[in-house]
Structure 1
Amino acid sequence: MRMTLQQKYKILVVDDEPDLEPLLLQRMRRAIRAGRYEFVFAGNGLEALHKLDEDETIDMVLSDINMPQMDGLTLLDQIPEVNPNIRSVIISAYGDMKNIRTAMNRGAFDFVTKPIDFKDLQVTIDRTLNHVEELKAALSARDKLVSLQNELDVASNIQQSILPTELPQEHDYQMFGSMKSARNVGGDFYDVVRLPDRRVGLAIADVSDKGVPAALFMMSTRTLLKGAAIGAINPGDVIGTVNQLLCEDNEAAMFVTLIYGVYDPETGRLTYANGGHNPPLIVHSDNSSTLLPPTDGLALGLVPGYEYQQRTVTVAPGEALVLYTDGVTEAMNGDEEEFGVERLQDIFKKSNPHEPYAITRLIFDAVDTFAGDTPQSDDVTCLTLCRG
């Protein structure tokens, strides 16, 4: 279960712009007054290292890239020598994929772009601090990891800590996502990326393998996806970029199935590319449903240089787009039958609540009822978008 942020966390902000400190303190004043955050500031990487040396209670670093004396990328290299358990978030220029990739390679947990969206910044801070808590729990339990189940518990916590805590709820569309982890933890995740002109990128994925390696591979995939999504327009190019980066550093030979689409709420058009994942479902207003046409893409991390194709469909008013992982369709009952796509579509012939939380809950309940007492062998994950 994901931990909640209850204690006070100390965040070191590293930036040479003098206006950032009063602006950040003003925009984060509620969280500061509530005792959730305490901010300390440094003007460059050298000053930040001194503060980290002097104060062992700093939990995370939020750093700009371009600064005098020592820039943010060099600082990222130095932080593990001071405290390997600190997690860093980088502030980058919009679309600066070169520096974003370098930052991720040097251990950045996440990034935000300029101009700073303070709502997105708070979500990113909370997600990073959740991860810090899970990491602390993992380290404290390190000596107790004498069984596979202990390791899987750690993996589950890592997995939950990076899922988005807030999804868009707009006047013309709403979203909801949820994941129910299995005992044999895999690497499911979903994410949403806000893009210019009210467009939104949405993704769902399933990493091969299980346990901590899958959770870490999932975390890397999610970060690469977010970076690629703000650096490219076409979903096929986004998935292709992530695939190439995963292929370049994949000694464990893991792979991930992933679907990524860009939804335009002004038109209802969804442009998507599919890397070997289950085809999403559009639930129509008459309770019928249709699987999205395939794009015949391979799973990511297997073939470098692979070109991913994309398609465009329209989600009509009153329709729902349902993304899911194979934990739904491959759920087994006591007779070793799979839940399957047909049963998934049959759910909506009987009931179509037209609300993303209710649709997701309907799927989870149907899978649970079908499986009965049969243990869950894979994560069950859904991401639902409803057009108003």
Structure 2
Amino acid sequence: MSATTILVVDDEPDFELLVTQRFRRSIRGGELVFHFARDGEEALELLSRVPGIDLVLTDINMPRMDGLTLLLRLPEVDPQLRAVIVSAYGDMANIRTGMNRGAFDFVTKPVDFDDLTVTLNRAVEHVRAARAALQARDALLAMQEELAVAQRMQLAILPQPLPDTPGRQLRGFMQAAREVGGDFYDFFILPDGRLGLVIADVSGKGMSAALFMAVTRTLLRMVALSGVDAAQCLSTVNALLAADNPEMMFVTAHYATLDPATGSLEYASAGHPPPLLMGAEGAVRELPGCDGIVLGVRPAQEYPLRRQTLAPDEVLFLYTDGVTEAVDPAGNLFGEERLAATLASHRGLDCQDLLAAVVSEAVTFASSAPQADDITCLALRYRSGGR
């Protein structure tokens, strides 16, 4: 621990000699550093130019500026600075005034140096604890501000809604369990006019997951826009992630491309919950063939390419397990069956309202239980051939 620095304010020269003599071993050993002032004005001047003073030990009766006036001025120098006052044994009125003005403790004359040592140690511990708490608070506030910035940045990289077309409607939603999350969704128009759809979930929570998410999202979009099919895209992204992944984080993902002219859907999945298909009449089923190993674990991994043709007014619903694994206070999961029933009961809604209904059902189901995982979902309604 660094040396304790004490400012002694007393107009009696003999008191400086007594202090330096009594604490000489601690001074030589670098445990204590003393500064001396003859009155309150000299003390304030010294405090203004000497940083790091832990404690003020001040007499009350002094010329120019007495100790009681000095006590009123100390918060102007450092609100965390504390003082111990020295006064005559019978001078309780001044001692009481000093305590009311913020003195931490007092000692009486003639000074018992054993008692003074105990009092000074206790006062210094109090000051350092208060300063440590203040530093911790400032660090927490700074961290919260950084997280708020990270949250705004994460939301900013989510895609802007695509305008509805005669052939389709598409909307997405994400709600992180913490300030930042590891889920993401993305959609974009490919060079050949097809629509690319991505949903993914990074292992873990918080800042590390958010950073890995940002890397994954960038890689996946970059590879997808090169024009490769969904299976090749996941295979390439997996190899890139696995090549430099010392923390062994992984990503579940589903990538699909839709030809809006024909309703042809090509897709590949990497350990992600199978998307759901809902027909116009409300029947809900899983998109078939959604298997594959998570991204980032095995460098050389192939992913099968699947195909499905969407019927007019069919809805493709992609989601992360934060939806189905929402937990109520009794420990029950929201589950796939409840999700399918929720979709069916709201089948006539547009995509934006459908997402809102699903999220509302999951949140209501969880009730007072805290959100355990990020909630992300993506809804595509295919209307008919056309772009």
Matched, 1:260 2:255: yes
* Structure 2 Cα separation of the partners of residues 152 and 276 of structure 1: 29
* Structure 1 Cα separation of the partners of residues 185 and 170 of structure 2: 12
For 1:137, the equivalent position in structure 2 comes to none
Matched, 1:339 2:334: yes
AA paired with 2:255? Y
Q: 1:199 aligns with which of 177, 180, 194?
A: 194
Listed one character per residue, the Cα deviations across residues 74-131 of structure 1 (whole Å, up to 9, x for unaligned) are xxxxxxxxxxxxxxxxxxxxxxxxxxxxxxxxxxxxxxxxxxxxxxxxxxxxxxxxxx
AA paired with 2:237? V
Q: 2:218 aligns with which of 223, 232, 235?
A: 223
Gaps of 5+ in 2: 1-136
Contact 1:158 1:215 (C-alpha < 8 Å) held by counterparts: no
For 2:300, the equivalent position in structure 1 comes to 305
What's the CA shift for 1:334? Answer: 0.8
Q: How does 1:212-291 map to 2 (within 5 A)?
A: 212-291=207-286
For 1:167, the equivalent position in structure 2 comes to 162
What's the CA shift for 1:198? Answer: 2.4
Choose 152-161 or 216-225, whichever is displaced more.
152-161
* Structure 1 Cα separation of the partners of residues 163 and 232 of structure 2: 24
Matched, 1:294 2:289: yes
Listed one character per residue, the Cα deviations across residues 156-193 of structure 1 (whole Å, up to 9, x for unaligned) are 33422211123242111010001111137430000012
AA paired with 1:228? V
AA paired with 2:187? V
Contact 2:171 2:379 (C-alpha < 8 Å) held by counterparts: yes
What's the CA shift for 1:255? Answer: 0.8
AA paired with 1:275? A
Contact 1:250 1:301 (C-alpha < 8 Å) held by counterparts: yes
* Structure 2 Cα separation of the partners of residues 371 and 276 of structure 1: 25
Q: 1:387 aligns with which of 356, 363, 382?
A: 382
* Structure 1 Cα separation of the partners of residues 138 and 161 of structure 2: 34
What's the CA shift for 1:150? Answer: 6.6
Listed one character per residue, the Cα deviations across residues 176-231 of structure 1 (whole Å, up to 9, x for unaligned) are 00111113743000001211342111000000111111111111111101111022
* Structure 1 Cα separation of the partners of residues 380 and 362 of structure 2: 20
* Structure 2 Cα separation of the partners of residues 275 and 143 of structure 1: 42
What's the CA shift for 1:147? Answer: 9.2
* Structure 1 Cα separation of the partners of residues 198 and 210 of structure 2: 17
RMSD, matched Cα: 2.2
Q: 2:181 aligns with which of 176, 179, 186?
A: 186
AA paired with 1:161? A
Q: TM-score, normalised by structure 2?
A: 0.61
Q: 1:363 aligns with which of 358, 363, 372?
A: 358
Contact 1:318 1:387 (C-alpha < 8 Å) held by counterparts: yes
* Structure 2 Cα separation of the partners of residues 337 and 297 of structure 1: 28
Identical counterparts, % of pairs? 46
Listed one character per residue, the Cα deviations across residues 119-144 of structure 1 (whole Å, up to 9, x for unaligned) are xxxxxxxxxxxxxxxxxxxxxxx963
Contact 2:151 2:179 (C-alpha < 8 Å) held by counterparts: no
Contact 1:155 1:211 (C-alpha < 8 Å) held by counterparts: no
Contact 2:343 2:358 (C-alpha < 8 Å) held by counterparts: no
AA paired with 2:217? R
Residues 247 and 265 from structure 1, CA distance in 2 versus in 1: closer, same or farther, beyond 3 angstroms?
same
Contact 2:177 2:375 (C-alpha < 8 Å) held by counterparts: yes
AA paired with 1:223? T
Structure 2 residue matching 1:286: 3-state secondary structure: coil
Contact 1:318 1:354 (C-alpha < 8 Å) held by counterparts: no
Q: How does 1:140-179 map to 2 (within 5 A)?
A: 144-145=139-140, 153=148, 155-179=150-174
Gaps of 5+ in 1: 1-141
What's the CA shift for 1:253? Answer: 1.3
* Structure 1 Cα separation of the partners of residues 153 and 251 of structure 2: 17
* Structure 2 Cα separation of the partners of residues 233 and 182 of structure 1: 33
* Structure 1 Cα separation of the partners of residues 205 and 151 of structure 2: 10
Following TM superposition, the consecutive aligned residue runs of length 4 or more in structure 1 with deviations greater than 2 angstroms are: 142-159, 183-186, 348-351
Contact 2:178 2:206 (C-alpha < 8 Å) held by counterparts: no
For 1:348, the equivalent position in structure 2 comes to 343
Q: TM-score, normalised by structure 1?
A: 0.60
* Structure 2 Cα separation of the partners of residues 343 and 151 of structure 1: 37
What's the CA shift for 1:273? Answer: 0.3
Structure 1 residue matching 2:178: 3-state secondary structure: coil
Listed one character per residue, the Cα deviations across residues 63-83 of structure 1 (whole Å, up to 9, x for unaligned) are xxxxxxxxxxxxxxxxxxxxx
* Structure 2 Cα separation of the partners of residues 203 and 360 of structure 1: 16
Listed one character per residue, the Cα deviations across residues 238-278 of structure 1 (whole Å, up to 9, x for unaligned) are 00110011111212211110000001111111110000001
* Structure 1 Cα separation of the partners of residues 288 and 234 of structure 2: 17
* Structure 1 Cα separation of the partners of residues 151 and 335 of structure 2: 25
What's the CA shift for 1:341? Answer: 0.3
